[in-house]
Amino acid sequence: MYLKDPDSAKYGFGSVYQGYMVGSVFEGRKLEAGYLLDVTVNAKNSYGGYTGAKPYKFLLRNDQIVGGWEIGQSGILIKIR
């Protein structure tokens, strides 16, 4: 995600919970376990209006982010990190 105005972004953080993610077929369906964090980001567009909160999911392990996914409109996870 690239922000036109990073200072305008509004973040919403869910609770951290144990979980796992399974990689895509292209990644060999590798299972990654750790802690998951749900985040929403609402940012301004070029016209100065907010675009609406977009959901993301991050996988944490040993106090580091080891994976990140944008949740598409159809619920499909798109890897961003």
Domain locations in the chain?
6-79
Amino acid at 81: R
Give pLDDT, residue 7.
84
Structural contact between residues 16 and 37, judged by C-beta atoms closer than 8 angstroms: yes
CA dihedral 38→64→78→8, nearest 10 degrees, is 60
Cα(49)–Cα(17) distance, integer angstroms? 33
Structural contact between residues 67 and 21, judged by C-beta atoms closer than 8 angstroms: yes
Q: What is the pLDDT of residues 13-64, one digit of tens each?
A: 999 999 999 877 777 788 889 999 999 999 988 888 998 999 999 999 999 9
What's the first-to-final CA gap in the chain, in angstroms? 11
